[in-house]
Amino acid sequence: MRLRMNYNIRYERDLSHNYMVVGLGDIDTGDYRYKMLEAQKTKGLMACSLRNINSDSFLYYEADGLRSIADRFASKKMNYSQLMDFFTDLEKTCIDMAEYLLEEDSLVMTMDTVMVDLARGSFRFMCLPGDNREDIETFAMELTDIVDHNDEKAVNTAYEFCMLVEENGYNLSVIARMMRDKMAQSLETVSQVEGQQPVEHIADRSAVQATPSPDFYEDFDEKEEEDTSSKGKSKDNDMKSYYIFSILSIIIGLLGIAIRYRYPLTPRQNIISLSIIGVTFTMGIAALIYASHKRKTLEMQEIDDNIRSEISHVKKRKEAEKKNSALTNKNEYRKKKRRSKSYEDDDFDIDEEIGNGFGRACEKGESSAFGPGNLAFAKSDEKAFGAAAPSVLMPNLQMFASRKADTYAHASAPKDPGTTVLSDSPVKEQGRLYSRGLNNCIQISTDKLPLTIGKMEGCVDFVIPHKTISRIHARLFRENGNMFLIDLGSTNGTYHNGCRLQAQKPVRIVPGDEVRFSDIVFDYR
């Protein structure tokens, strides 16, 4: 379980609202900064109010619909786009704070106080009058842990942020602006390479979200796009020719009717004119019907092609992600295997050779065969490890020889099975949560912990699609072999054996306990 910060913070629920409460102690709350903090209406700062209870002062920060970035990105890590949104919101918040005469050093930058609005995806910050500069370096290091390590750009950006924070002479607004400008330039470079329009202003969140992700179209072939566009133009030209032919045919038929009524015709001319009028009208109407039918067919075909292309893009992206993850896991496995193999080569091969030789010597009764005075051993050791080998390895070899001698000396002695003493370490509890009273039983396995529970798909490990469950509701985790349950500030609460849990206060659960998320009851067994 991650340790909480040193600030005097607790979580409270008053009627239908969640609050983060900060105790101020004997601090003078008459300072103008507290008045400005209550009056501010900026989107980036958490709204708060100052309350006096029993001669003590407290700041109540509204936390409805908010989760800390530690809880939000516990299951699905922060990607490059979300990191860019973070720096954009941080810069804008620092600029807005100046309007209320609040210093940006008063931002409390910790994993528990930087919040995410789950409905909008924007970031919110806690302002506490005073100098909180010492939190920023720790926050920057912890930020590298919650970014997606499969996203190389996000990892590099997080470490760049750490380096800027460590340097003196920069403030948060300058750092955020530098990071935001650099990320915007990289996006413009990628979009220009792939033929997309560059992002002109990164602060416009809607414009950034409307721009297609470059990674999504990384496998798209520009030649295919040109071919499809040329085909579409040729089809449009064909459709126009059909419409023009039908209109001309109808016009010719109308001209034939006008000539019949205007000029007297012989019987032969009359037959010819009637046949021309009938043929032209028939051809015109037939061409018009065929063109409309073909247009509908082409529209349906275009829709099908778009769907197929989208599905192919998604499949390619998923295959690329699987290949990248498999390659990463393979490289890590090779590194671990290489490291363990080097340890085995350094330690166990020597022990095995010496042990075999020493065993043969003990069987012959030559206990001093591998002693420090044995010339043959010294020469072989010097040959294998260099001139300095006897002075370095001899004490360890003597210790090894004494262990082997004790082993062979007691090999013929009868073995005493003795008594095995059980350790006092807690028993590792594994089980499942089974829902009660539902038509379809919900089972939550506790084999893989930590496990975040909620209804926001993509942000939690286990989704309960129920309207009374919060987006990020609660978490199960293991510590020292025991399993704990913690409420993450849910709206309708988390209960353990009938008692509602206080937010961010873990409680141990054991088999036989009753756990309730909102109005859904589970039995742990």
DSSP assignment letter at 447:
S
State the pLDDT at residue 1: 36
State the pLDDT at residue 376: 44
Alpha carbon dihedral 131, 132, 136, 137, in 10-degree steps, equals: 80
State the pLDDT at residue 406: 53
Comparing 244 with 159, the larger pLDDT belongs to 159
State the pLDDT at residue 63: 93
**pLDDT band of 182, cuts 50, 70, 90:** confident
Comparing 514 with 189, the larger pLDDT belongs to 514
**pLDDT band of 8, cuts 50, 70, 90:** confident
State how far the Cα of 178 lies from the Cα of 94, in Å rounded to an integer: 14
> What interhelical angle do 267-364 and 389-409 show, nearest 10?
80
Comparing 356 with 104, the larger pLDDT belongs to 104
Q: What does the mean pLDDT of the chain come to?
A: 76
State the pLDDT at residue 375: 44
409 pLDDT above the threshold of 80: no
State the pLDDT at residue 371: 45
The closest of 161, 107, 159 to 135, measured between CA atoms, is 107
9 pLDDT above the threshold of 60: yes
6 pLDDT above the threshold of 80: no
Give the end-to-end CA distance of the chain in Å, rounded to a whole number. Answer: 23
Mean pLDDT over 88-116 rounds to: 92
State the pLDDT at residue 232: 56
SS3 content of the chain, % helix, strand, coil (to 5): 50, 15, 35
Q: Which residues contact 506 (CB under 8 A, 6 or more apart)?
A: 1, 477, 484, 485, 486
Mean pLDDT over 384-393 rounds to: 45
Tokens 């009058």 -> residue = 129
Tokens 């829709």 -> residue = 303
Say if strands 451-454 and 462-463 run parallel, antiparallel, or are unpaired: parallel
State how far the Cα of 350 lies from the Cα of 358, in Å rounded to an integer: 12
State how far the Cα of 504 lies from the Cα of 20, in Å rounded to an integer: 11
515 pLDDT above the threshold of 90: yes
State the pLDDT at residue 222: 40
3 state DSSP class of 507: strand
**Omega prior to 450 cis, within 30 of 0:** yes
State the pLDDT at residue 58: 92
Comparing 445 with 426, the larger pLDDT belongs to 445
State how far the Cα of 150 lies from the Cα of 80, in Å rounded to an integer: 10
- Bridge partners of 123, per DSSP, are 116
CA angle 233, 236, 242 (to 5 degrees): 145
- Cα 425 to Cα 422, 446, 482: the distances in Å are 9, 20, 10
Mean pLDDT over 190-200 rounds to: 54
Choice among 161-175, 212-226, 262-276 with the minimum mean pLDDT: 212-226
**pLDDT band of 367, cuts 50, 70, 90:** very low
State the pLDDT at residue 2: 41
Distance of CA 278 to the CA centre of its chain: 70
Mean pLDDT over 266-293 rounds to: 81
State how far the Cα of 369 lies from the Cα of 364, in Å rounded to an integer: 10
370 pLDDT above the threshold of 60: no
State the pLDDT at residue 219: 38
**pLDDT band of 417, cuts 50, 70, 90:** low
Mean pLDDT over 10-30 rounds to: 86
